[in-house]
Amino acid sequence: MRRLLFANFTPQMRKYIITFSMAFAIITAASHTISAQSQDFRLGQWSEIHNSIIKELNRSYVDSLPIDRIMRAGVDAMLEELDPYTIYIPEEENEDLQMMLSKTYGGIGAIIHKKKDENVIINEPYAGSPAEKYGLQCGDEIIAIDGVPTKGLETKESSDRMKGKPGTTVVFKIKKVRTGDTLDVPVVRERIHFPDIEYAGMLDDTTGYILQTGFTENVSGEVRTKFQELKKLGMKRLVLDLRGNGGGLMSEAIGIVSLFVPKGSLVVTSKGNTEESVQEYRTQTEPIDTQMPVIVLIDSGSASSSEIVSGALQDMDRATIMGKRSYGKGLVQSIRPIPYNGQIKVTTAKYYTPSGRCVQAIDYSNRNEDGSVGHIPDSLTREFKTANGRIVRDGGGITPDIEIDSPDYSRLVYALVLGGVLDQYVIDYARRHDSIPEVDDFHFSDEDFEDFIRFAKTQDFDYRSSAKTLYDQMKKELQKDGLAESMKSELDALEKALEMDKERFIRLKKDEIIPFIEEELATRYWFQEVGIKVRLRYDEQLKTALTKPLI
């Protein structure tokens, strides 16, 4: 069409258009060059100013200059202006980076509990870990680590002393939970790996279930192996649970998608700040099954690689996505070395699902006047289409094909869990009980719950209801405004109606609390996998998903 229009122009008009186009191209190229030079100049100017300030402070500041502290604070503050994922990692934190990337560390494989001025308590040993192999149990007290008393140590310092190079030995002075005996226990540290596949099993005769909590190296191979094992057990449909999975390696997300779609399928595209940075990532291996129905569970904690998997399978109409909308992290990070053995984890690109969606929910490049950032409103999202023509949208995570409400826990349950009351009760329970029944026969009885109430009443924690906390805040605001006195009778009546003692509130929330206690006790006596089996017993969101028709 453009060629036909151009053919109808006179020679003089064509000459004018060509001249104007050439001039426009030159001006555009020049503006890009000037912009690049301007940015380079500003960067040079900033470096010079920064160096001058440091030199002047070092020469003139009244006290000794805390170089390490202000250097780190300056770098962190600078990177915070970009996004939460671009961070500086100095040499001494490289082990923390490896833990983040591979979920591995050198140590004994146990979660500890530590109160100020008390000994370290073994809270939760891991199955197959050195802690289990050398007989450490929930409730055992660590009196000393390599001869250093633990009462005077902080939690992190205690943990750091327990960690170390695999193959090295750490000696604990232990007071045993059952007998009260005190003995020295040498433990050889190992490379501890937190598994990405926390549980895999059959939910019924035909439904397989895989709980995946991360995307570290070779998790796609582990999913492949578990899938094949479940298929031999009669699996006819799969539930891949990515709820709460914050992501990890993009390559592993691609590897998981490749299990279910034809070789060569486009999974994700990454785009940086130049045309040359655009990269397409396709499946490289043959699938293991392209027909079996797949349900992918997601929620607001499913991010990054979890969104690559769910978004790709949704765009290809290969799985039914259920649950709640995912987090919305569509940014790609790369690790770059910097001087003195440090590293920077820098956001280098955004990723896009096969239909062209970017799931990033927050636009860090466009900030409000106060520096804050906000979510992209639904009104500004765009429509895209899946392989079968279904409409999906960008700009705010992956929206499930079928929305299923997540459990809504009371404030009391959060207080019991996050405040450590349940942990402390479970440790106390372990001191008094040598064993519990096998998982299928284990249920927390009414008598057991009375025991928990007696324990919880002795603990100091904020047991107010959500309504009571809102009332307390409202009363403070009314006092600020000078209105509380004039509304005293109404406020007193409302406060009396909302007031609830600790025991009454715990009894009221019994059905919410018992599943948490059962899971924690099962984990302490039978390890993590059995604890998850107990959790699934009460998973109403999963039960609802199994009743829904698939796309």
Mean pLDDT by 10 residues, the chain (551 residues): 46 51 49 60 84 88 87 90 91 78 90 90 94 95 96 92 95 93 96 94 98 96 98 98 96 98 98 90 97 97 97 98 95 91 93 95 74 70 94 91 94 94 94 91 95 96 91 91 90 88 94 97 94 96 97 87
On whether residue 256 sits in a domain, the answer given is yes
Our answer to whether residue 329 is catalytic in this structure is yes
CA distance 479 to 112: 44
Identify whether residues 55 and 123 lie together within a single domain: no
Our answer to whether residue 204 is catalytic in this structure is no
Which residue among the candidates 315, 394, 401, 423 is catalytic per the annotation? 315
Which residue among the candidates 159, 270, 304, 306 is catalytic per the annotation? 304
On whether residue 445 sits in a domain, the answer given is yes
Identify whether residues 168 and 209 lie together within a single domain: no
On whether residue 376 sits in a domain, the answer given is yes
Identify whether residues 377 and 241 lie together within a single domain: yes
Residue ranges in 81-209 assigned as alpha helix (H): 94-102, 130-133, 155-162
Query: Smallest Cα–Cα separation from 220: which of 266, 287, 268?
Result: 287
CA distance 398 to 401: 9
On whether residue 49 sits in a domain, the answer given is yes
CA distance 89 to 76: 10
On whether residue 480 sits in a domain, the answer given is no
Helix 510-526 vs helix 528-537: crossing angle, to nearest 10:
160
Query: Would you state the pLDDT for residue 116?
Result: 84
CA distance 69 to 40: 28
Which residue among the candidates 103, 329, 345, 468 is catalytic per the annotation? 329
Instruction: Tell me which DSSP letter residue 485 carries.
Output: T
| Residue 336: Cβ within 10 Å count | 11
Query: Would you state the pLDDT for residue 24?
Result: 47
Q: How many domains does the chain have?
A: 4
Amino acid at 102: S
Identify whether residues 201 and 155 lie together within a single domain: no
Query: Would you state the pLDDT for residue 5?
Result: 44
Identify whether residues 270 and 141 lie together within a single domain: no
Our answer to whether residue 277 is catalytic in this structure is no
Query: Can you tell me which residue has the tokens 């503006």?
Result: 31
Q: Containing domain of residue 286, as a range?
A: 197-403
| CATH code of the domain covering residue 142 | 2.30.42.10
Identify whether residues 297 and 273 lie together within a single domain: yes
Identify whether residues 381 and 269 lie together within a single domain: yes
Query: Would you state the pLDDT for residue 16?
Result: 53
Identify whether residues 179 and 210 lie together within a single domain: no
On whether residue 495 sits in a domain, the answer given is no
Provide the whole-model pTM: 0.86
Query: Would you state the pLDDT for residue 20?
Result: 47
On whether residue 99 sits in a domain, the answer given is no
User: CB–CB of 428/458 below 8 Å?
Assistant: no
CA distance 263 to 257: 10
Identify whether residues 281 and 374 lie together within a single domain: yes
Identify whether residues 224 and 337 lie together within a single domain: yes
Q: Domain boundary residue among 61, 82, 113?
A: 61
Query: Smallest Cα–Cα separation from 537: which of 128, 126, 237, 199?
Result: 199
Identify whether residues 121 and 183 lie together within a single domain: yes
Q: Domain boundary residue among 161, 193, 225?
A: 193
| CATH code of the domain covering residue 245 | 3.90.226.10
CA distance 536 to 297: 13
Query: Can you tell me which residue has the tokens 């949704």?
Result: 314
Identify whether residues 280 and 319 lie together within a single domain: yes
Instruction: Tell me which DSSP letter residue 48 carries.
Output: H
The C-alpha angle 375, 333, 199, rounded to 5 degrees, equals 85
Q: Domain boundary residue among 27, 42, 61?
A: 61
User: CB–CB of 257/283 below 8 Å?
Assistant: yes
Query: Would you state the pLDDT for residue 414?
Result: 95
Report phi then psi at 79, rounded to 5.
-70, -30
Instruction: Tell me which DSSP letter residue 379 carries.
Output: G
Which residue spans within 213-319 are E strands per DSSP? Answer: 237-241, 266-271, 279-282, 294-298
On whether residue 325 sits in a domain, the answer given is yes
User: CB–CB of 518/383 below 8 Å?
Assistant: no
